[in-house]
Chain A
Amino acid sequence: MKGTHLGELEELVLLTTALLDGNAYTVTIAKEIQVQSDRSITLSTVHTSLHRLEKKGFVESYVGGTTKERGGRRKRLYRILKAGYQALEQSRELRNRIWEQLPKPSFE
């Protein structure tokens, strides 16, 4: 399983990519993460994460349309792949499983 580990940030980016189905690219993902988690994130971080996810076979990219703000430059859109979706599911199952075993904490 070497090379398919999903880091925390990568998981977040991957989830957001899935969420923004069809319109997921660096800028929208960064904006969405800001909105969702209220944490400020730089474009290059997102871009690097996407690059890694693509290498791991979790997402694929394709060249998409352009908008005025981009000055006519095309954007690279990302789409989650089956392996990516499975990785997300696995990660969630793992967490659920551990949550279920968690004893009720008492913080007093």
Chain B
Amino acid sequence: MSKMKNVRPPKWPDRLLSWYCSDRYFEEVQGDLHEWFYHRVATQGVSRARLMYGIDVLRYFRSFRLKSNEKLSQNSNYISMKQILKLTYRNLKKDPLSAFLRILNLTVGIGIFLLTFIYARYELNYDSYHDEPQNVYRIGHSLRTEPWAATPMGLGQYALDNFAEVESMTRFFRVSNTWIKYEDNIFMEKRGFFVDDGVFDLFKVKIISGDLDKALNPINAIILTETLAIKYFGRTDAIGELVELETDRGRPRQVTAVIEDIPEQSHLQFDFLLPIKVFGDRFRNAWRNWATYTYVRVKDGADLENMSKILLNEYEERYNAQGSGNLQPFFTPIQKIHLHTNHEKELADNGNVSYVYILLSVGAFVLLISSINFVNLSVVKGFDRSKEVGLRKTVGASRTQLTIQFLGENLLLLGLSGLFCLLLLVIATPVFGNFSGLSLPLNVLESPEILIPLILVIFLLLLICGVYPAMSLSKFKPVQVLKTGMSHLRTSKLGLVRRGLIIIQFVISIVLVVSSFVIYNQLTHIQEQNLGFEKDQIISIPVESGPLNDSFSSKFDVFNDALLRVTGVKSTTVSSSVPGTRIMVEGVQEIGAEDAVTTRILLADDDFVNTYGLEIINGKDFIKNAPDAPIEYILNESAANFIFQDRNPVNEMIRWSRDTGKVVGVVKDFNFQSLHHEVEPLVISSRGRNSWLSVRFEPASVESVRDGIERLSRDIYPDLPPIEYEFLSDRFENLYLAESRLRSLVWFFCIVSIVLTVSGIFGMATYMAKQRIKEIAIRKVLGSDLSNLLNLLSRDFLVLLSLALLIAIPAGVWLSNWWLRGFADKISVGAGVFIVSSLSIIVLVVASASYVTYRAASMNPVDALKND
């Protein structure tokens, strides 16, 4: 015992205990611990007891013994939070319809807004994987007013040599379509480029194997993306493997690096890269062809204007065009390319920034509609609770406390909706992906950054939607509400603010319906529009004019003859382009005129006019089957007017490049581009060229034609990859892909907004009918019939709807015309659209209000009155 007297429990655990343990438990716990310590000393020895004492103290660390817990349970905010949760739960349970409508509205509203927000962010963040993307530019130039994406090849080297501001430069020069062969694997590849050594300085691609610094050094190097490497080798460590390219004429290439696939968010997509050094200095520094894409990274704060000026000098010197003002070089920030440019020779079908903003604003409108429903339903729900508010005020709740309570309720609903909406987005991911072809980061677990806009939206809504109901509810005078209940004047009619909000909802819905109709009609119009040539019965096959051995053109004549014998094939033609693809722009000169003019020029054989069903309005077609015939030209109407004004072009001589020839005919204008453009002047030259083979077929024998092409491809070209072909109508549909997507999305959002608006009206009408249940019963007893009652209860909404129509129709007209201005050939927005969309909204609103009224009016008045 005497020994034990000297032993004391260590001090630090005691201090720890007194720090965390609440006073309620401290004394007993410390006493117990000390007693246990001496018990341990007696049974296990001093040192072990001291050690275990600390551990025991730590083991006591449980939440219910904490000081903070004790403080919390006395904290008034904690208590009121607990109460808010409880009351919210009870309120929601008491009126499940209203709760359901409010949560549904918020979920759908926030979800759709978030979806459009994520989409917009995705579109706006193209091409940001580069090093210092804000300093990376593509150099382009405009010829007269037409901007070009592609520039002469010599430009890049010139810029690198002459501008100190240019840190690095790379050119992208397209490799013409080619097959790549590795052992038995042979496929057509279309996305390859010759590039400069500087490419990886600008384009921060991720390396999988190989050394990027040296990858472009060997003249026969090829760099593959992961996808391509797996396609050919089944693995990514393919360094040193040899492949053959059609364009290399038998010399093998060596894989020097495998890189990750280019991010989807980039306008410049490629599968393989070759060194541009393959070409000699002369070719690389030539200023002849405008077919090279030049990218540079400049130093911070580089004077682009000055550089453009110096470039302009060089341009004018090279082309002998001093002071003509025809040429103008410019720098396009790489991040702007995707949404802001649609230049001549653009590498990709770029997006359209206005479509991004249209969708974003439609998303915001849907959010607005749903927030208005939320506000309105919350306010009317609040009137039910006027007695609760009155009582709370009487027992001393301040207005601030009540406001906080209602805000707390709203926050809870918003938070709940936020969670549902995250779930909704996860469900929507595959649907949206299928539909848009984009893999948007919609899953919160994979991309937690979408929580940031979600939380911002929730807080914004809390501020906007929460404050008004909370303030208007906490304003009640307690004596008044307790004495009489809510005065009927206030609850049976809509307040001014709510009327305003409902009008806004109607306006938005009507404008959305009108816009959907206009977009739908315009696109249908375009797709049904007679383009002036046959597009539905044409199959086009790309034919690259490669080297004669082993390529498609080697046995082209055999193939073509065999094809003409296939059942269902009416005629074939070869041309340098087909409608829907880019047609080149060149200078054409009338013999005897001073200057050349630039027009589109198409090289075609003597079957082109016939195969495409063009209408000759003046002169005649090319001479048939005459291999040694002189070059002849056919113009479209626009070109005839452009080159010859009022004179008759037939039999006049014109020259393109080195070909001088006679104009033999004029064809009616046809839409060889998308209908976003006016028909441009087009010159068709009889110098046929194997770039595209077009096949006109009998619609009834389409299967036989397809089989025929596939069979001939196998029989005539056993060593080549299968011939790829496409229907021209598909190509034209692709020209309007952006619009088609926009159409479906706007339709979808339009339907959602109508459903939300009607759900709001439904909720409001239900509430109003409930408030006036006794009035309705008495009216019924006194002899009102159903139609009187319907009129009584729906009148309010109809008045608001008429007001909304007054605002919505001019807004709809303006908006529709604004959108339509992007089309050369547009529909006129007629009254029909407005009548149909107004009527559809009116019918829906009246129907939902009437349904509610009908239910209220058809009940037995006794049930409503017997309780008094």
Query: In the assembled complex, which residues on chain A have CB atoms less than 8 Å from the CB atom of B39?
Result: 27, 31
Q: Which of B27-35, B526-534, B633-641 contacts A (4 or more CB under 8 A)?
A: B27-35
Query: In the assembled complex, which residues on chain A have CB atoms less than 8 Å from the CB atom of B35?
Result: 27, 67, 69-70
0/1 string, A12-33, CB within 8 A of B gives 1? 0000000000000111001100
Whether B56 is near chain A, meaning CB under 8 Å from some CB there, is yes
**Which of B31, B56, B62, B64 is within 8 Å of A75, CB to CB?**
B31
Bound CA span A30–B52, Å: 15
0/1 string, B444-473, CB within 8 A of A gives 1? 000000000000000000000000000000
Smallest Cβ-Cβ distance to B61: which chain A residue: A44
Query: In the assembled complex, which residues on chain B have CB atoms less than 8 Å from the CB atom of A74?
Result: 27-28, 31
The winner among A31, A45, A73 for most chain B CB atoms within 10 A is A73
B163 CB to nearest A CB, Å: 74
In residues 32-88 of chain B, which contact A (Cβ within 8 Å)? 32-36, 38-39, 56, 59-60, 62, 64
B293 CB to nearest A CB, Å: 71
Whether A56 is near chain B, meaning CB under 8 Å from some CB there, is no
The winner among B28, B59, B62 for most chain A CB atoms within 10 A is B28
Number of interchain pairs (Cβ within 8 Å):
52
Whether A91 is near chain B, meaning CB under 8 Å from some CB there, is no
In residues 13-65 of chain A, which contact B (Cβ within 8 Å)? 25-27, 30-31, 42-45, 47-48, 51, 63
Query: In the assembled complex, which residues on chain A have CB atoms less than 8 Å from the CB atom of B27?
Result: 73-74
The answer to whether B34 and A26 have CB atoms under 8 Å apart is no
Bound CA span A70–B702, Å: 99
Interface residue count on the A side (C-beta < 8 Å): 22
In residues 145-193 of chain B, which contact A (Cβ within 8 Å)? none
Query: In the assembled complex, which residues on chain B have CB atoms less than 8 Å from the CB atom of A71?
Result: 31, 34
The answer to whether B56 and A43 have CB atoms under 8 Å apart is yes
The answer to whether A30 and B29 have CB atoms under 8 Å apart is no
Query: In the assembled complex, which residues on chain B have CB atoms less than 8 Å from the CB atom of A26?
Result: 28, 32
- Given A31-B39, A76-B28; A42-B56 close (CB under 8 Å): yes
Bound CA span A86–B416, Å: 43
Query: In the assembled complex, which residues on chain A have CB atoms less than 8 Å from the CB atom of B33?
Result: 43
Whether A66 is near chain B, meaning CB under 8 Å from some CB there, is yes
A30 CB to nearest B CB, Å: 7
The answer to whether B59 and A44 have CB atoms under 8 Å apart is yes
Bound CA span A63–B60, Å: 20
The winner among B34, B35, B64 for most chain A CB atoms within 10 A is B35
B42 CB to nearest A CB, Å: 10
Smallest Cβ-Cβ distance to B57: which chain A residue: A44
The answer to whether A73 and B64 have CB atoms under 8 Å apart is no
A29 CB to nearest B CB, Å: 10
Interface of B is mostly: helix
B3 CB to nearest A CB, Å: 14
B158 CB to nearest A CB, Å: 80
0/1 string, B548-563, CB within 8 A of A gives 1? 0000000000000000
- Given A27-B32, A44-B56, A47-B32; A69-B62 close (CB under 8 Å): no
Q: Using C-beta atoms within 8 Å of the partner chain, give the interface range for chain B.
A: 10 to 19
**Which of A30, A42, A69, A73 is within 8 Å of B28, CB to CB?**
A73
Query: In the assembled complex, which residues on chain B have CB atoms less than 8 Å from the CB atom of A31?
Result: 39
**Which of B31, B36, B59 is within 8 Å of A73, CB to CB?**
B31
A67 CB to nearest B CB, Å: 7
Smallest Cβ-Cβ distance to B29: which chain A residue: A47
B25 CB to nearest A CB, Å: 8
Query: In the assembled complex, which residues on chain B have CB atoms less than 8 Å from the CB atom of A67?
Result: 35
A54 CB to nearest B CB, Å: 11
Smallest Cβ-Cβ distance to B9: which chain A residue: A71
The answer to whether A43 and B36 have CB atoms under 8 Å apart is yes
A19 CB to nearest B CB, Å: 18
0/1 string, A84-97, CB within 8 A of B gives 1? 00000000000000
Bound CA span A73–B33, Å: 11
A53 CB to nearest B CB, Å: 13
The answer to whether B59 and A75 have CB atoms under 8 Å apart is no
Bound CA span A45–B64, Å: 13
Bound CA span A26–B27, Å: 13
B546 CB to nearest A CB, Å: 80
Bound CA span A67–B27, Å: 13
The answer to whether A66 and B31 have CB atoms under 8 Å apart is yes
A31 CB to nearest B CB, Å: 7
The answer to whether A27 and B36 have CB atoms under 8 Å apart is yes
Bound CA span A105–B815, Å: 86
The answer to whether B34 and A30 have CB atoms under 8 Å apart is no
0/1 string, B247-262, CB within 8 A of A gives 1? 0000000000000000
Query: In the assembled complex, which residues on chain A have CB atoms less than 8 Å from the CB atom of B62?
Result: 44, 48
Bound CA span A45–B33, Å: 13
The answer to whether B59 and A43 have CB atoms under 8 Å apart is yes
Query: In the assembled complex, which residues on chain B have CB atoms less than 8 Å from the CB atom of A75?
Result: 28, 31-32
0/1 string, B418-453, CB within 8 A of A gives 1? 000000000000000000000000000000000000
B837 CB to nearest A CB, Å: 56
Bound CA span A30–B40, Å: 12
The answer to whether A43 and B30 have CB atoms under 8 Å apart is no
Smallest Cβ-Cβ distance to B28: which chain A residue: A76
Bound CA span A48–B64, Å: 9
The answer to whether B60 and A44 have CB atoms under 8 Å apart is yes
The answer to whether B34 and A43 have CB atoms under 8 Å apart is no
Query: In the assembled complex, which residues on chain A have CB atoms less than 8 Å from the CB atom of B56?
Result: 42-44
A6 CB to nearest B CB, Å: 19
Bound CA span A73–B23, Å: 13
Bound CA span A69–B33, Å: 10
**Which of A45, A48, A73 is within 8 Å of B30, CB to CB?**
A73
B671 CB to nearest A CB, Å: 75
Query: In the assembled complex, which residues on chain A have CB atoms less than 8 Å from the CB atom of B34?
Result: 69-71, 73
Query: In the assembled complex, which residues on chain B have CB atoms less than 8 Å from the CB atom of A30?
Result: 36
Query: In the assembled complex, which residues on chain A have CB atoms less than 8 Å from the CB atom of B31?
Result: 66, 70-71, 73-75
Bound CA span A69–B64, Å: 26
Smallest Cβ-Cβ distance to A45: which chain B residue: B59
A8 CB to nearest B CB, Å: 19
B106 CB to nearest A CB, Å: 33
Bound CA span A52–B82, Å: 22
A20 CB to nearest B CB, Å: 14
Bound CA span A45–B750, Å: 61
Given contacts A44-B59, A75-B28, 13 further A-B contacts (CB under 8 A): A25-B32, A26-B28, A31-B39, A44-B56, A44-B62, A48-B62, A51-B64, A67-B35, A70-B32, A70-B35, A73-B31, A75-B31, A76-B28
- 10 example contacts (A-B, Cβ-Cβ < 8 A) are as follows A27-B39, A42-B59, A43-B32, A43-B33, A44-B59, A45-B59, A47-B29, A73-B31, A74-B28, A75-B28
CB-based closest 7 A-B pairs: A73-B31, A70-B31, A44-B59, A76-B28, A44-B60, A26-B32, A69-B35
Q: Which residues of B does A touch, CB under 8 Å?
A: 27-36, 38-39, 56, 59-60, 62, 64
